[in-house]
Amino acid sequence: MSRTTRVLAALLALAVASPATPATAATPDPPAGAGASAGATREPGNGPERNEVAATDPLLAASAGALARGQGHDQPTKTAGYPRRTQLRVYPEDPTDRAVKLGLVPYHGIAPLLNDLQARGDRVSVEVVGQSTLGRDLYLVTVTAPEHASQTRRQDRWRRLIEDDPRAAARDRELRASYKTPVWINGNIHGDEWEGTDGALRVITALATATDTATRRLLERSRLYFTVTNNPDGRVAGTRANGAGFDINRDHITSSQPESRAVRDVVIATQPVLMLDEHGYTGTTLIEPSTAPHGQNYDYDLYIRHAYPNALGMEAAIAALGHPETARADIPFRDYAPGDWDDWPPIFTPMYAIHQGAVGHTVEVPMQVNRGAYNSLPVEELRRRSGINTDVAAATIRAAIGYADTNRAALVADQIELFRRGWAGEPQRHVPDGYVPGFGPEDRYTTTFPRAYVIPAGAGQRSPAAAARLVDHLVAHDVRVRRAKAPFTLAGQRHPAGSYVVDMHQPKRGLANAILEAGRDISSLVPQMYDISGWSHGLLWGATVHTSRREAPRVPTTPVAVAGPTGDVSAPYGRDLALTVTDGKDVQAVNALLDAGVRLRRLGDGTVVVPASARRAASAAAERLGVRFTAARWHAGGEPLRKPVLAAAVAADELFVLRDLGFDVRPVSTTVLNAGFELSEVDTLVVSSGLSYPALNAAARSTVDAFLARGGLVTRGATGARFNADAGVLPARAVAGRSDANGVVSVTAGGGPAGTGAPPHSFVYAPLWFTDLGPGVSADQRYAGTPLVAGHWIADPDDGRGGPADAAGQAAVVSGVGPRGTAAVLFGTEPLFRAHPKGLFAQVGRAIYWTASHNQPET
Cα–Cα distance for residue pair 159/181, rounded to 1 Å? 10
Task: Please choose, from the candidates 224, 228, 226, 136, the residue with its C-alpha nearest in 3D space to the C-alpha of residue 188.
Answer: 228
* SS3 per residue for 239-270: CCCCCCCCCHHHCCCCCCCHHHHHHHHHHHHH
How buried is 606 (Cβ within 10 angstroms: 0-12 exposed, 13-18 middle, 19+ buried)?
buried
As a whole number of angstroms, the distance between CA 133 and CA 245 comes to 10
Which three-class secondary structure string do you get for 679-711? CCCCCEEEECCCCCCCCCCHHHHHHHHHHHCCC
Contact call for residues 514 and 422 (beta carbons, < 8 A): no
Euclidean distance between CA atoms 445 and 299, whole angstroms: 10
- 3-class DSSP state for residue 575? coil
Residue 648 Cα distances to 81, 187, 249, 655, 720, angstroms = 51, 33, 25, 7, 11
Cα separations (Å) of 706 from 448, 588, 680, 821, 854?
A: 58, 30, 9, 11, 16
CA 156 and chain centroid, separation: 27
Residues 6+ away with beta carbon under 8 Å from 361: 274, 275, 276, 277, 287, 288, 289, 307, 310, 311, 314, 350, 400
Contacts of 283 (CB under 8 A, 6+ apart): 366, 368
In this structure, which amino acid lies at residue 276? Answer: L
Beta pairing class for 733-736 and 742-749: unpaired
446, 472, 442: which is closest to 339 by C-alpha?
A: 442
Told to judge if 364 belongs to the known catalytic residues of this protein, a careful annotator would answer: yes
CA angle 436, 442, 445 (to 5 degrees): 90
Coil, helix or strand at residue 206: helix
Query: Is 605:850 a contact under the CB 8 Å cutoff?
Result: no
Question: What are the Cα distances from residue 694, in Å, to 9, 690, 704?
Answer: 64, 12, 11
Strands 577-579 and 359-365: unpaired
For residues 343 and 290, the answer to whether their CB atoms sit within 8 Å is: yes
Phi-psi region of 35 (alpha: psi -120 to 50; beta: other; left: phi over 0): left
Q: How far is residue 816's CA from residue 459's CA, in Å, rounded to a whole number?
A: 33
Q: 842, 662 in Cβ contact below 8 A?
A: no
d(CA 188, CA 194): 5
How many whole angstroms separate alpha carbon 256 and alpha carbon 324?
41
Signed CA dihedral, 166, 170, 172, 177: sign only: positive
Catalytic member of 364, 517, 654, 830:
364
Is 792:832 a contact under the CB 8 Å cutoff? Answer: no
Residues in the chain: 859
Q: Is 781 helix (H, G, I), strand (E, B) or coil?
A: strand
> What is the enclosing helix (H) or strand (E) of 758?
none
Query: Under DSSP, is residue 531 helix (H, G, I), strand (E, B) or coil?
Result: coil
CA atoms of 235 and 588, how far apart (whole Å):
32
User: Which of the residues are catalytic?
Assistant: 364
